[in-house]
Amino acid sequence: MNSAGFFDVLTSFTDRSRQLLGRRDLALDQAEAAAGVVQLCEALLSGRGEASGMAIASEVLNRYLRLDETGRLMLFEAFAEKFGPDREKLSDAAKAWLDAPSDADASDLHYFSEARRQELFRRLNRAPGGTHALVRMRADLLELAPNRRDLAPLDRDLVHLLTSWFNRGFLVLRRIDWSSPAIVLEKIIHYEAVHEIRDWDDLRRRIDPMDRRCYGFFHPALSDEPLVFVEVALTQAMPDAIGPLLAEDRAPVALEQARTAVFYSISNCQRGLAGISFGNFLIKQVAEDLRRELPKLETFVTLSPAPGLARWLRRGEDVSVPEESRALLDSLDDEFWPQDAPAAERLRRVIEPLAAQYFLKAKRADGKPIDSVARFHLRNGARLERINWLGDRSIKGLRESAGLMVNYLYYLDEIEKNHEAFANHGEVVASPAVKKLLKPETRSRFARAAPASSG
């Protein structure tokens, strides 16, 4: 008896399953193709899945990749409709628990209410490249069906699984430098979302000089894919503009002179992991590692854009300015405005108080600041340290942030306090200098509203 040919699963399964399932050919229309995938998914959840699970899982993933957008959407609909929980068992469990509520019974209720698609995804993950494919699937879902309420439970389940799998404890921090594989570096170029990297020479200036660092989180199952990365400049003082920091001809700072680590760009890389936050952990880990390596570093600070400012200045309902200032604000539409120095100076006197209002007082419906970057760093426990006039003269900087840049300061002894002030009371912790920018009347109202923040 000869078992050669054994387990040739990944390459041969297509043929076998086609035969087993009675498939005739691959030129199916998308509906038929999606139905085929659904059938395989049922097989994967059945006994057959136990015997040759990796083969079936691989086949599902291969077929998924061959579906077009219509096919994928059909599949998502099937996941949402047909792979929910077993309603009968769930119904019994819900009644039982309501009769006698207890933790133990809630456990039954919890596991009977788990949608079957969760086990399906866990089994798909067993295939080589499975994790990658599931992250991709989530990205497709976000792109193809951003607002479909019927697909929300599907998204919720995917997010739940991916959040659990991409737990901080499984992430690996890796330094990214000029010795990193090109396959990683090209992704840094591609994913940099804050200050564009034009080409490989530009990349090299960001990661190769001794006073530049780049770190990313990686997951062992996605080895060449950074999840999030941060670019760091080591400087003497807290910087007030991005231009000099990225200038081609700047002189590098000797390591023994560096006192400040500037986080000037944080970029998420995986669309499919949207909503799962890594940046918080990344900043803190990098700060910790840098401090261990370079004990002379004293200050950990960002140099950040204010990406919602310009839009708010133009449209914000709560922007109350005199008529003449309104005209000045209109001049922001001309991207050459910084070149007229006297006019720029006039603008500054109008915008700085407004910017302070934007960060300190203007709120979204949920009581949080309008600025997404501010929300991120304030939630992390950082303090709004300084607003830098004309810190970013790039077209993007002028268009989105009205040229302003912001330093958020990460200071250990205050982080917990800051975070709780922000998370529990919506308080924006800011330096006296920033508060002073508020117009007098605004400032006094601010002072009344948040007396505790005068640290």
- Distance (Å, whole) CA 51 – CA 204: 50
Long-range CB contacts (within 8 A, 24+) of 52-55: 52/9, 52/13, 53/123, 53/126, 54/9, 54/10, 54/126, 54/127, 54/128, 55/9, 55/10, 55/13, 55/17
For its own copies, give the closer residue by CB, 74 or 309. Answer: 74
Structure token pair of residue 204: 């090299």
For its own copies, give the closer residue by CB, 118 or 394. Answer: 118
- Distance (Å, whole) CA 389 – CA 405: 7
Contact present, 230 and 283 (Cβ < 8 Å): yes
Distances from the Cα of 453 to the Cα of 133, 240, 379, 425, angstroms: 47, 24, 15, 11
Least CB distance from residue 15 to its own copies, whole Å? 13
Angle, nearest 10°, between helix axes 440-449 and 341-360?
20
DSSP states of 354-409: HHHHHHHT-B-TTSSBS-HHHHHHHHTT-EEEEEETTS--SHHHHHHHTT-EEEEE
Least CB distance from residue 444 to its own copies, whole Å? 26
Least CB distance from residue 253 to its own copies, whole Å? 18
Least CB distance from residue 402 to its own copies, whole Å? 27
- CA dihedral for 107, 113, 119, 122, sign (positive or negative): negative
- In angstroms and rounded to an integer, the radius of gyration of the C-alpha atoms of the chain is 27
For its own copies, give the closer residue by CB, 148 or 314. Answer: 148
Least CB distance from residue 11 to its own copies, whole Å? 10
Distances from the Cα of 66 to the Cα of 72, 155, 244, angstroms: 9, 21, 47
Least CB distance from residue 216 to its own copies, whole Å? 15
Least CB distance from residue 366 to its own copies, whole Å? 16
For its own copies, give the closer residue by CB, 409 or 437. Answer: 409
Q: Name the residue among 361, 373, 351 with its Cα closest to residue 318.
A: 361
Out of 265, 304, 401, 453, pick the active-site residue.
304
- Distance (Å, whole) CA 154 – CA 115: 9
- Distance (Å, whole) CA 141 – CA 147: 10
* Pairing relationship of beta strands 299-302 and 260-268 according to DSSP bridges: parallel
For its own copies, give the closer residue by CB, 174 or 314. Answer: 174
Out of 267, 377, 401, 453, pick the active-site residue.
377
Distances from the Cα of 319 to the Cα of 124, 328, 442, angstroms: 51, 13, 12
For its own copies, give the closer residue by CB, 80 or 137. Answer: 80
Least CB distance from residue 181 to its own copies, whole Å? 4
Least CB distance from residue 93 to its own copies, whole Å? 9
C-alpha dihedral (97, 100, 103, 107), degrees to nearest 10: -30
- Distance (Å, whole) CA 26 – CA 47: 25
* Pairing relationship of beta strands 299-302 and 405-410 according to DSSP bridges: antiparallel
- Distance (Å, whole) CA 303 – CA 243: 11
For its own copies, give the closer residue by CB, 88 or 323. Answer: 88
Is residue 3 among the annotated active site residues?
no
Distances from the Cα of 139 to the Cα of 269, 384, 452, angstroms: 11, 33, 43
For its own copies, give the closer residue by CB, 72 or 383. Answer: 383
For its own copies, give the closer residue by CB, 50 or 330. Answer: 50
Is residue 377 among the annotated active site residues?
yes
Residue spans of beta strands (DSSP E) within 14-132: none
**What residues act catalytically?**
304, 377
